[in-house]
């Protein structure tokens, strides 16, 4: 994980022009309110923008994001999510430490349809490519009998790839 500055704004880049695997994207998809979602901070990393910039673009185009596409986590949902990620290997220690220090607001959660809308409001090649790769990652997830997200065991050849988000 690397931190870049763009126009004075901090942008976290997952691998700095290195491939991001579908498994790494899938690891950042969570079940909230019975639907698979990705959080704004994770999407911002994949799109190479600051979380604030991503949320501002959404607010400027809010009609594209009804609640079934995007919603803000409640304080309880956010606390539960934080308790789950601390015990996982998904986030770096730096990210976990930042979360422990406290976020100023609860994050926004985007459903698969919300992710698809993001590429239209962010207007960049990286956003378009990232959205396609995230859709690929979603398509290889299944919900088990206990409501947990699982990756399908066999991913067909064309999708056994890495996505390169510049």
pLDDT digits over 27-57, tens only?
888 889 989 899 999 999 888 899 999 999 9
Using DSSP, state whether 124 is helix, strand or coil.
coil
State how far the Cα of 113 lies from the Cα of 111, in Å rounded to an integer.
5
Q: What are phi and psi of 126, to 5 degrees?
A: -65, -45
Q: What is the pTM of this model?
A: 0.72
Whether 20 contacts 165, CB under 8 Å: yes
Domain coordinates in residue numbering, the chain: 2-164
What confidence tens digit (pLDDT) does each residue in 108-124 have?
999 999 998 998 898 88
**Residue burial 71-103, b: 16+ Cβ < 10 Å; e: rest:** bebeeebbeebeeebeeeeebeeebbeebeeee
Does the pLDDT at position 24 exceed 70?
Answer: yes
Query: Pairing between strand 70-72 and 35-39?
Result: unpaired
């Amino acid at each position: 994980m690397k931190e870049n500055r763009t126009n004075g704004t901090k942008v976290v880049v997952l691998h700095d022009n290195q491939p991001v695997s579908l498994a790494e994207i899938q690891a950042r998809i969570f079940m909230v309110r019975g639907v698979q979602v990705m959080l704004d901070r994770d999407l911002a990393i994949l799109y190479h923008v600051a979380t604030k910039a991503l949320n501002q673009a959404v607010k400027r185009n809010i009609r594209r994001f009804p609640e079934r596409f995007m919603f803000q986590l409640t304080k309880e949902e956010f606390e539960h999510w934080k308790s789950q990620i601390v015990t996982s290997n998904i986030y770096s220690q730096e990210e976990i430490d930042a979360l422990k220090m406290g976020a100023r607001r609860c994050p926004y959660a985007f459903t698969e349809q919300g992710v698809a809308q993001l590429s239209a409001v962010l207007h960049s090649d990286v956003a378009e490519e990232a959205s396609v790769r995230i859709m690929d990652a979603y398509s290889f997830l299944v919900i088990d009998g206990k409501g947990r997200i699982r990756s399908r065991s066999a991913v067909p050849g064309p999708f056994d790839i890495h996505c390169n988000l510049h």
